[in-house]
Structure 1
Amino acid sequence: MEHFVILGGGQAAATAARTLRDEGFGGSVTIVSEENRLPYERPPLSKAVLQGEADVAKVTLIPEEALVDLNLDLLRGHRAVALDRGGRKVILSSGRELSYDRLLIATGSRPRLIDGPLSGKSNVFYLRTFDDAERLRAAMAPGKTLLSVGAGWIGLEVAATARKLGLQAAVVEMAGRLCARCLPAEVGSALERIHRDHGTKIHLDTRITEVAGRDAVEAVTLSSGEVLPVDIVVIGIGAVPNVELARDAGLEIGNGVVVDPFLRTSDPHIFAAGDVAAMRDETGRSIRMESWANAQDQAAAAARNMMGENSAYSVNTWFWSDQYDLNLQMIGDCASDGGEVFLRQGEGGAFTRLCVAGGKLVGAICFDAPRDMAIVRRLLARGYSPAGDELQTAPDLRKLL
Structure 2
Amino acid sequence: MRIVIIGAGQAAASMAARLRAGGHEGPLTIVGAEPVAPYQRPPLSKAYLLGDMGLDRLLLRSDDWWKDQGIELRLNERATAIDRAARLIATDHGSLPYDALALATGATPKRLPAGMGGELPGVHVIRSLSDVDALAPQLQAGRRLVVIGGGYIGLEAAAVARKLGLDVTLVEAAPRILGRVAAAETADMVREMHRSHGVRILEAAGIERITGTDHVTGVALQDGRNLPADVVITGIGVLPDVAIAHEAGIHIDNGIATDDRGRSSDPAIWAAGDCASFPWRGQRIRLESVGGAIDMGETVADNILGADRAYEPKPWFWSDQFDAKLQIAGLGTGHDRIVQRKGDGMHGGSVWYYHMDQLIAVDALNDARAYMIGKRLIEAGKSPDPELVVNAPDLKALL
Normalising to structure 1: TM-score of the pair? 0.95
Aligned to 1:391: 389
Runs of 5+ unmatched residues, structure 1 = none
* Cα distance in 1 for residues equivalent to 2:3 and 2:112: 37
* Cα distance in 1 for residues equivalent to 2:78 and 2:268: 20
Aligned length: 397
Match of 1:332 among 325, 330, 333: 330
Aligned to 2:77: 78
Match of 1:341 among 335, 338, 341: 338
Aligned to 2:195: 196
* Cα distance in 2 for residues equivalent to 1:169 and 1:46: 15
What is the CA-CA distance between 1:316 and the residue it aligns to? 2.7
* Cα distance in 2 for residues equivalent to 1:378 and 1:282: 20
Aligned to 2:372: 374
Aligned to 2:186: 187
* Cα distance in 1 for residues equivalent to 2:249 and 2:202: 43
What is the CA-CA distance between 1:359 and the residue it aligns to? 3.5
What is the CA-CA distance between 1:207 and the residue it aligns to? 2.0
User: In structure 2, the residue corresponding to 1:356 is in which secondary structure?
Assistant: strand
8 Å CA contact 1:334–1:365 kept in 2: the answer is no
Are residues 1:321 and 2:319 paired? yes
Aligned to 1:48: 47
8 Å CA contact 1:47–1:157 kept in 2: the answer is yes
CA deviation map 1:102-154 (0-9, x unaligned): 11100000111112232321101111111111110011111111111111111
Aligned to 1:208: 207
Q: Which amino acid counterpart does residue 365 of structure 1 have in structure 2?
A: D
Q: Which amino acid counterpart does residue 354 of structure 1 have in structure 2?
A: W
Equivalent positions of 1:131-280 (< 5 A) are 131-280=130-279
8 Å CA contact 2:189–2:348 kept in 1: the answer is no
User: In structure 2, the residue corresponding to 1:321 is in which secondary structure?
Assistant: strand
What is the CA-CA distance between 1:186 and the residue it aligns to? 2.0
8 Å CA contact 2:10–2:40 kept in 1: the answer is yes
Mean alpha-carbon deviation: is it higher for 222-231 or for 135-144? 222-231
Q: Which amino acid counterpart does residue 57 of structure 2 have in structure 1?
A: K
CA RMSD of superposed structures (Å)? 1.5
* Cα distance in 1 for residues equivalent to 2:374 and 2:384: 13
* Cα distance in 2 for residues equivalent to 1:212 and 1:258: 39
Aligned to 1:21: 20
Aligned to 1:103: 101
Aligned to 2:349: 351
Closer/same/farther in 2, CA of residues 387 and 146 from structure 1, 3 Å limit: closer
Aligned to 2:300: 302
What is the CA-CA distance between 1:305 and the residue it aligns to? 0.7
Q: Which amino acid counterpart does residue 392 of structure 1 have in structure 2?
A: V
* Cα distance in 2 for residues equivalent to 1:14 and 1:121: 34
8 Å CA contact 2:330–2:375 kept in 1: the answer is no
Q: Which amino acid counterpart does residue 367 of structure 1 have in structure 2?
A: L
Closer/same/farther in 2, CA of residues 100 and 194 from structure 1, 3 Å limit: same
* Cα distance in 2 for residues equivalent to 1:239 and 1:385: 33
* Cα distance in 2 for residues equivalent to 1:268 and 1:204: 46
User: In structure 2, the residue corresponding to 1:253 is in which secondary structure?
Assistant: coil
Aligned to 2:286: 288
What is the CA-CA distance between 1:336 and the residue it aligns to? 6.8
* Cα distance in 2 for residues equivalent to 1:221 and 1:64: 47
* Cα distance in 1 for residues equivalent to 2:335 and 2:7: 37
What is the CA-CA distance between 1:388 and the residue it aligns to? 6.6
* Cα distance in 2 for residues equivalent to 1:98 and 1:388: 56
Closer/same/farther in 2, CA of residues 335 and 10 from structure 1, 3 Å limit: closer
Q: Which amino acid counterpart does residue 370 of structure 1 have in structure 2?
A: A
* Cα distance in 2 for residues equivalent to 1:213 and 1:400: 56
CA deviation map 1:334-366 (0-9, x unaligned): 25743x333221122311112233333221111
User: In structure 1, the residue corresponding to 2:43 is in which secondary structure?
Assistant: helix
User: In structure 2, the residue corresponding to 1:187 is in which secondary structure?
Assistant: helix
8 Å CA contact 1:336–1:355 kept in 2: the answer is no
Aligned to 2:122: 123
Mean alpha-carbon deviation: is it higher for 362-371 or for 206-215? 206-215
Closer/same/farther in 2, CA of residues 29 and 213 from structure 1, 3 Å limit: same
CA deviation map 1:76-104 (0-9, x unaligned): 1111111111111111112x221111111
User: In structure 1, the residue corresponding to 2:52 is in which secondary structure?
Assistant: coil
8 Å CA contact 2:314–2:379 kept in 1: the answer is no
* Cα distance in 2 for residues equivalent to 1:253 and 1:346: 43
What is the CA-CA distance between 1:224 and the residue it aligns to? 3.5
